[in-house]
Amino acid sequence: MMKQIHLRLDDNQYKEVAEYAKMAGMTVQDSVSTAIYIMLSKQKKKKYTHKFTFIDLFAGIGGMRLAFEEAGGECVYSNEWNKFSQQTYMANFGDMPDGDITQVNADDILDHDILVAGFPCQPFSIAGISKKNSLGRATGFADKTQGTLFFDVCRILEAKRPKAFMLENVKNLCSHDKGKTFKVITESLNELGYEVFYKVIDGQLFVPQHRERIIIVGFDRERYGSYFDFEFDIIPKEPKPVMADILEKNVDDKYTLSDKLWTYLQNYAAKHRAAGNGFGYGIAPLEGVSRTLSARYYKDGSEVLIEQDGKNPRKLTPRECARLQGFPDSFVIPVSDTQAYRQFGNSVVVPLMAAIAKLVVKKLEELKVTNGVNGYREVV
C-alpha cells in the first residue's frame, strides 16, 4: 500500500531537485522518495571497523556490497548502468553508482584492496586469437577480451593492482562456447599476474533456493608469490533453511495467478511432459528448496509458485524474493514489483557471498607471511 504526502519546496529547491532527477533518469517524485530512503538507511546503517577497501563493479542492487561490508570492508567505488538498479542501490547505500563502465577511466578509481564484480558473460572472439597464434604473435588480455565487459574488469585490475579480486557468474560460464570463454577468462587473469581459484557453489547452503554460481577469486602474485592454496571452506547454515522460512503471512491477492494464466501454465507443462521435456511451472515445497529465481520471474512467476488452499497458486512477493536471496528485511525496495523481480532475479545469494568474502579476507591476512602452489586450478 502506497501513501502520499504533500511537500513544499521553494523555487530554487525544486529546480535543483528537478535537475538532479533528470540527471539520474528519475521522476521528481522518485528522486524525493529516494532521498528519504537514503536518509533512513544512513540512520540504520551498521558501523563497521573497516579492515579493507573494495570496489563494486556491475553492482546490481548491492548484494556483493552487503556481503563485503559484512566481512568488514568499506566500498570506495561502485558502478552499475541500469537506472532502476541505481535507484535501489542509492536508496540502500546512499551512493549513486557510476554508469557506463566502458567510459570510466580506470586511473580515476580510488585505490582499493579487493575488486568485486558480478560481470555479465559475453562471447569472446576466439577466431582473432587463433589467427594471431598462427602468426606466432603473442596475445594479451586486451586482444582476447576487447569488446566484452570482462575487458573492463581486466583493465581496472591492471591499472589499480588490488591485492585480490572476487568474480561471480552463472554456472554455465564454465561450459560456454565449449569451455573457450572460461579459458580466455582464466588465462587473462593469470597474464595479469593473479593466482586464480574457482568453484561452482550452490546457494542452498544458506537459502532455500537451488542456485549454482561460479565464484572466481584471485590473489596478486607480485605481492604474495605463487606458492599457496585457497580452499572454499564454507560452513552451511544450520538448521537448513526451507521455503516456509521466507514466506510472508499476509499476502495480497494480486500475487495469486489468474484462472487464465494458471490454465495456460498447466497446459504448457502438460504439452512438454508429453514431448518428454522437463519444462513447466514449479510448485516450491514448503519444507524444501525452490528452483532458481531468474530475472524473468516478473513475467509469470512460473519457476517458483506457492500452493494455496482453495485458490490458484501465487507468485512470491518482492520481499519474499529478497529473502530467497538472503537480503535482510531492512533492505529497501523503492521500485515497482516488475523491476524488483528483475533485480532480485539478477542478484546474488548474499550470505553465501559474505561467507566467501570472509575467506578471501582471511587468506589475505595469512598471505602477509605465507605463500604456496603455482598456476590456477579448480578447487574440489
User: Annotated active-site positions, please?
Assistant: 121
Secondary structure of residue 215 in the 3-state scheme: strand
SS3 314: strand
Residues in the chain: 380
Give the list of residues 6+ apart from residue 230 with CB closer than 8 angstroms, or none. Answer: 195, 197, 217, 219, 359, 363, 379
Burial 231-264 (b: 16+ CB within 10 A, else e): ebebeeeeeebbbeebbeeebeeebbbeeebbee
Long-range pairs for 38-45: beta carbons < 8 A, 24 or more residues apart:
38/90, 38/91, 38/94, 40/332, 41/91, 41/92, 41/93, 41/94, 41/332, 42/94, 44/330
**What single letter denotes the amino acid at residue 127?**
A
Query: Using an 8 Å Cβ cutoff, are 242 and 288 in contact?
Result: yes
201: its cell numbers: 557453489
**Neighbour count for residue 92 (Cβ, 10 Å):** 24
Identify the bridge partners of residue 196 per DSSP, sorted by sequence position. 218
Give kind and range of the element (H or E) at residue 13: helix 11-24
Residues contacting 74, CB < 8 A, separation 6+: 48, 50, 52, 53, 54
Name the one residue in this structure whose C-alpha cell is 519444462. 279
CA distance 78 to 160: 15
Interatomic CA distance for residues 25 and 149, integer angstroms: 23
DSSP 375: S
In single-letter form, the type of residue at position 41 comes to S
- Grid cell digits, residue 351: 550470505
The total of other beta-carbon atoms located within 10 Å of residue 126's CB is 15
CB 245 within 8 A of CB 316: no
